[in-house]
Amino acid sequence: MNKTLPLTSRSLPILLIRAREAVMAPIRSMLADSGLTEQQWRVLRVLSEYGPQDTTDVADRASLLLPSLSRILRTMTEKGLITRQQHDGDRRRQILMITPAGQAVIDENIAEAAAIADAIKARLGDENYEALLDLLDLVTAEQKSQTSK
């Protein structure tokens, strides 16, 4: 009954922040050379991986809130990284697609990005790495099923 919080050193939210920070540091420094933010990079990757899709799909896949994404897309459109089209049947919706310039940015960074990912994987060990991904999925999935009414 006497509730106590876990020490901050064993707090899941804090450890998630730290891990993310650690993982992103080299990626951010890579992207800085291309003038990209990590969010813009995520949008490019999602568009490249899943092809043309609407804003809501991109938001889900890149884990961005629609209001944030809305502004990010404006910037990326100005930079010529993506294009937007009205959806045929539904004028509320717009279809996003990556431009050749956008794909070029991915191509420029893909080798280094893959190397960074491999390095982390190597440091953790393949088993640990996969286990971590699965556990993170589990956290998200469980939480989702609770939230989704």
Task: Report the partner that residue 46 touches, choosing among a second copy, DNA, none (CB closer than 5 to 8 A by kind).
Answer: a second copy
Give the tokens for residue 123: 């440091």
Chain residues 59-118 in contact with a second copy, contact rule CB under 8 A: 61-63, 110-111, 113-115, 117
What is the C-alpha to C-alpha distance for residues 21 and 37, in angstroms, rounded to an integer?
Answer: 14
Number of residues counted as binding DNA (CB under 7 A): 31
Q: How far is the CB of 89 from DNA (least distance, A)?
A: 7
Do residues 22 and 28 make contact, with C-beta atoms less than 8 angstroms apart? no
What is the C-alpha to C-alpha distance for residues 39 and 66, in angstroms, rounded to an integer?
Answer: 12
Do residues 69 and 8 make contact, with C-beta atoms less than 8 angstroms apart? no
Chain residues 2-41 in contact with a second copy, contact rule CB under 8 A: 3-8, 10-25, 27, 38
Q: How far is the CB of 130 from DNA (least distance, A)?
A: 25
Short-list 87, 80, 85, CA closest to 44:
80
Query: Which phi and psi (to 5°) does residue 23 adopt?
Result: -70, -35
Out of 42, 69, 81, 82, the only residue in the binding site for a second copy (CB under 8 A) is: 42
Out of 15, 19, 49, 56, the only residue in the binding site for DNA (CB under 7 A) is: 56
Out of 3, 10, 92, 149, the only residue in the binding site for DNA (CB under 7 A) is: 92
Annotate 59-89 with DSSP letters as a single string. HHHHT--HHHHHHHHHHHHHHTSEEEEE-SS
Residues lying near a second copy in the complex (CB under 8 A) are found at: 3-8, 10-25, 27, 38, 42, 45-46, 49, 61-63, 110-111, 113-115, 117, 120, 123-124, 128-129, 131-133, 135-140, 142-144, 146-147
